[in-house]
Amino acid sequence: MMVVHEAGHVVGAVCIGTIVEKVVLHPLAISRTDVANNQNPLVVIWAGPVLGALLPLVLLSLRRRVNEGLRPFAKFFAGFCLVANGAYISVGSIERIGDAGDLLGHGSPGWTLWLFGVVTIPTGFWLWNGLGPSFGLGTANGEVNRRLAYLSAGLLALTVLLELCFSPHQ
């Protein structure tokens, strides 16, 4: 989720011609994207959560071209990105933390942050609805698709390895 979120900040920065100095994606640090000469910070800041929520939905929409067995994984990931980004922005606005604090500090009205959460969080829960059997719950009686489990574990391991190798810790 953090990789997709930070990719959104990078895309936003590149689209407005801002220089990306550093992206921190490390398992022992809070992820962030550092930019220089940012003439439109709201675009760069909003791009993280917005694209962080939309890119997994695009992946999900391409599921017809992907093995049908991956559909539950794609739905879970898209739902997780929606819930996580929505909660981060809307609830984060209360204490003005992270991107939510930056958005408020640069002039985004508080209601826009809450509206983002009101749209994304329920949509993420809606995507999760009915996925239990795909992950061994309910009628699946603990049976889990082994390929999906191995894929999940492999992607997690690859992400952590790449973060450890290529991202600064600070």
d(CA 12, CA 10): 5
d(CA 76, CA 85): 14
70 pLDDT higher than 80: no
Q: What is the pTM of this model?
A: 0.86
Which among 30-34, 115-119, 149-153 has the top mean pLDDT?
115-119
48 pLDDT higher than 70: yes
d(CA 127, CA 156): 21
9 is written with which tokens?
Answer: 């900040």
Q: What is the mean pLDDT of residues 1-29?
A: 91
Write phi, then psi, for 104 (nearest 5 degrees). -65, -40
- Mapping DSSP to helix (H, G, I), strand (E, B) and coil, where does residue 156 land? helix
pLDDT digits (tens, 9 = 90+) for 93-106: 999 999 999 999 99
